[in-house]
Amino acid sequence: MKTEREQVIRVVKKKRKAHGHHGGAWKVAFADFMTSMMALFLVLWLITQSSEVRTAIAGYFQDPMGRANEFGSSVIPGEGATLLPATPEVQVSLATGRRNQIVALSERIRSALPDTGALAGLGDHVSIEITAEGLRISLMEDSTDVFFKSGDPKPLPRAETLFQAIGRVLASTGYQVILEGHTDGRPYTGRADYDNWELSAGRANAVRRALLAGGIDGAQVEAVRGLADRDPVFPDDPLAPQNRRVTILVAVPEEPLPPVASDPPVSSVDMAMQPPAPPVP
């Protein structure tokens, strides 16, 4: 028999419930956070870069396959091709200061182009290219008569508004400009005494008058040329509508070299205060 002092020892085993499996929602949130931080750092890096670097990056996203260099400013050449907003490409060796000056001028011209109402999309037909001389602005046609009606040297009213906007920017620079008119290879049949030479020269002269109305000085115009169909954008397709264009060549001069520092002239007083030269033995 058990005594009163004897105790019964009982072992109680408790079953512990395992924690539920954690979901992966936190991984998605962490990935979104890291993506946002990367985008922030990329933006901070971009705003510290030069305008040339920003322009090159923007040009890559607009034309990642590099087709603009192959087909000019049109992705697919031909009738009714949609022109891309041209971005200046630096393909020549220029001094850093002059290159930045030219790129800044191209950005000013691009931002000054009107793009509202009846002028919407008109700036897409303006190609801007950096050359060794400065800047080439090409006003390119397509099959829909963007700036001029077919065979007409008089620009459309909306085109004159765009030309004057370019003139206002160029007026503030004082740079010399050369205007060149171009046609496609289709012969002009409207008049017996009028051909593509007169038509190209007439259109270039019409752009000159619009630039003057925009504010440029007459002394800035160095030359007005009509080249007819002798300098096509697409030599293999002389009838391509993009061959019909007017180009504005803006001559950006070289930056003047800083004056060479020379020793100041020595006055008679300074010479009197100088110690005498030692005697020659």
- Residue 180, domain member (yes or no): yes
Q: What is the pLDDT of residue 190?
A: 77
- Residue 76, domain member (yes or no): yes
Q: What is the pLDDT of residue 86?
A: 44
Q: Which tokens sit at 45? A: 């890096």
Q: What is the pLDDT of residue 63?
A: 62
- Residue 231, domain member (yes or no): yes
Q: Which domain holds residue 176?
A: 51-251
- Residue 95, domain member (yes or no): yes
In this predicted model, what pLDDT tens digit does every residue of 204-243 receive, in sequence order? Answer: 999 999 999 999 999 999 999 999 999 999 999 999 999 9
Torsion, CA 155, CA 161, CA 167, CA 169, rounded to 10:
-150
Cα–Cα dist 202/139, whole Å: 15
Q: Which of 90, 58, 60, 86 is nearest to 71 (CA)?
A: 86
Q: What is the pLDDT of residue 263?
A: 44
Q: What is the pLDDT of residue 175?
A: 95
- Residue 32, domain member (yes or no): no
Q: What is the CATH number of the domain that holds 204?
A: 3.30.1330.60
Q: How many domains does the chain have?
A: 1
Query: From the CA atom positions of the chain, what is the Rg in Å?
Result: 35
Q: What is the pLDDT of residue 268?
A: 44
- Residue 46, domain member (yes or no): no
The stretches in the chain having pLDDT less than 50 are 67-91, 257-258, 260-273, 281
- Mode of pairing for the β-strands spanning 134-140 and 245-251: antiparallel
Q: What is the pLDDT of residue 12?
A: 66
- Residue 240, domain member (yes or no): yes
- Residue 141, domain member (yes or no): yes
